[in-house]
Structure 1
Amino acid sequence: MDSDDLGLFGPGSVTWKVHEEPILIVAGLRSLYLQALHPRAMAGVAQNSDYRADSWGRLVRTATYVATTIYGTTAEAEAAGARVRRLHARLRATDPATGEEFRVDDPELLRWVHVAEVESFLSTARRAGLRLTDAEVDGYYSEQRRVAALVGLDPADVPGTAAEVAEYYRLVRPDLRITREAAETAVFLTAPPIPWKLSLPARVGLNLGPARFAYLGVAGTAFALLPPWARRMYGGLGLPTTELSADLSVRALRLALAALPRRWREGPLQQAAKARAGGVAA
């Protein structure tokens, strides 16, 4: 491994500044609620993965992929992207409305997933209290085009500024709707099975306990952070009071996470990247 390789980004990037925030665990969940509103994207997941049986394993794999693209070396990031491209290239799904078969690696679907993810990361971090200038916001979206390229997208076709992301959402919204699969996924995301080691004994019933209630709070915050139009699609309210409540909740959660020891807040890939960055600076 090249000890001088800081990967796709590095300590001077907006990407490192944003992903330094542990609150992005909430952003990841917000992204999944949002992604589920695209019928074809949701069908692609539902028809090609048994996420209900391995929800936490899938979550860990997704988080590891994101961390690799952000903090891994260039070779590690490119290898991770190649694995995703190979997997997607084999997968097909059927449109639930038309019966048409489509490729999971359709650029339109890849673009939707990418934008929903990076916009969730950025908006959640900002609403939690991370201060970014308008130039830094645009810089983040521009930098994230490198991640989009890893899965096979042409960076020129990916929104690279806040204005372009807003325009993309405006154009794609007519294609979004709540389907049966999306509703079932939203319910599952809100109340997934808690790993048994974190649950109370089976005799208590209902799988309740501190871990369950803590997760429900995180899920509720993630849902409330959705754009008002997305909450309305789920049958929720797009009220300003919901926005205020979400902001207060995510700011409080950010403060709680910041109080944790750094070794709990930073994964091994992030720690290794900082060590390489320190060696280069020295």
Structure 2
Amino acid sequence: MTISDLGLYGPESVTWRIHADPSFAVGGLRALLLQALHPIAMAGVSANSGYRDDPWGRLQRTTEYVATTTFGTTEAAEELAAKVRRLHRRLTAVDPDTGDVHPVDDPSLLLWVHCCEVDSFLHAARRGGLRLSDADADRYVAEQVRQARLIGIEPASVAVPRTAAELTAYFSDVRPQLKATRPAYEGLRLISAPPMRWWVRWATPAAPSWGALVAMGFGLLPGWAKQLYTHLPVLPGSEFTATASLRALRTAVLALPPTVRESPQLRAARARVAGIPVRRLDALPA
């Protein structure tokens, strides 16, 4: 079996363990809430993304990207990443304070998005109960440098964190640049209550269930990030509640059969690694 058969990481990687865990979805929501606190990055999302008109589509595309680059073949991962890089090259973001125009693929903006995702997936996994040693955490951060390269960050010229300590230091350095702008609150409101068909919203538990997931994501944010959302109350014990809720959710999802709880990309990757012929991962439904 060649390295390309295993994709960028392979089944022995920490990345597979974390991205296949039920905590992954809540980690993704945490990442979005954290990313929104960078004024320029959020201005780019607000100006260029279709999240207002099609929030479910944007979430699906983001999930598909991470799933394909994690579990797909090397070829599928590189093809999808190249498509995203080409899109980013055409887009700009305007600094809401200075009016300066920045390319969306500015390495500093890409690094911010990258670090938010890595920190959020790792944090959610550990808070959700996935057993990860400090060495595992460092290995995960180091493995994710491959994701940084895929999206267009060159580690030789940009200091991409390679350990959990370096990731923490990065957030300490960038914190003075962060704040919750109007687009950040707009994004938060849309994530919290995305459009649903009336009968889905009122005749099913979809809306309260989704709201609970978003509340978990917010509860998992670091204290300094919650404080930047100054218009939102931070209730005492919210961190404990988020952790307890995530652990209960993770336990419930793990009780489901793999055919229900695992993504098509993960199931296809397991089959591929086992030597069972499958269709190309980038041809599978998200």
Q: TM-score when scaled to structure 2?
A: 0.90
2:211 is matched with which residue?
Answer: 216
2:175 is matched with which residue?
Answer: 173
Structure 1, residues 90-119: CA drift from partner, whole Å, max 9, x if none?
111211111111100000000000000111
1:14 is matched with which residue?
Answer: 14
Q: Tell me if structure 2 keeps the 8 A contact 1:3–1:276.
A: no
Q: Tell me if structure 1 keeps the 8 A contact 2:4–2:75.
A: no
Which of 181, 185, 189 is equivalent to 1:187? Answer: 189
1:205 is matched with which residue?
Answer: none
Secondary structure, aligned partner of 1:11: coil
- Quote the offset at 1:80 in angstroms: 1.0
Which of 161, 164, 177 is equivalent to 2:163? Answer: 161
1:67 is matched with which residue?
Answer: 67
Query: Any gaps of 5 or more consecutive residues in structure 1?
Result: 202-208
In structure 2, distance between residues paired with 1:243 and 1:83: 38
1:260 is matched with which residue?
Answer: 256
Query: Any gaps of 5 or more consecutive residues in structure 2?
Result: 277-286
Q: Tell me if structure 1 keeps the 8 A contact 2:4–2:73.
A: no
Which of 211, 221, 226 is equivalent to 1:231? Answer: 226
- What amino acid maps onto 1:272 in structure 2? A
In structure 1, distance between residues paired with 2:219 and 2:87: 33
Identical-residue share of aligned pairs (%)? 53
In structure 2, distance between residues paired with 1:97 and 1:146: 33
Q: Tell me if structure 2 keeps the 8 A contact 1:93–1:104.
A: yes
Q: Which moved more, 1:187-196 or 1:61-70?
A: 187-196
In structure 2, distance between residues paired with 1:43 and 1:194: 25
Q: Which moved more, 1:118-127 or 1:259-268?
A: 259-268
- Quote the offset at 1:242 in angstroms: 2.2
Secondary structure, aligned partner of 1:93: strand
- Quote the offset at 1:218 in angstroms: 0.8
Alignment of 1:1-282 (within 5 A): 5-156=5-156, 157-195=159-197, 198-200=200-202, 209-235=204-230, 236=232, 241-279=237-275
Secondary structure, aligned partner of 1:102: strand
CA RMSD of aligned residues (A): 1.8
In structure 1, distance between residues paired with 2:241 and 2:46: 32
- Quote the offset at 1:199 in angstroms: 3.2
Q: Tell me if structure 1 keeps the 8 A contact 2:4–2:74.
A: no
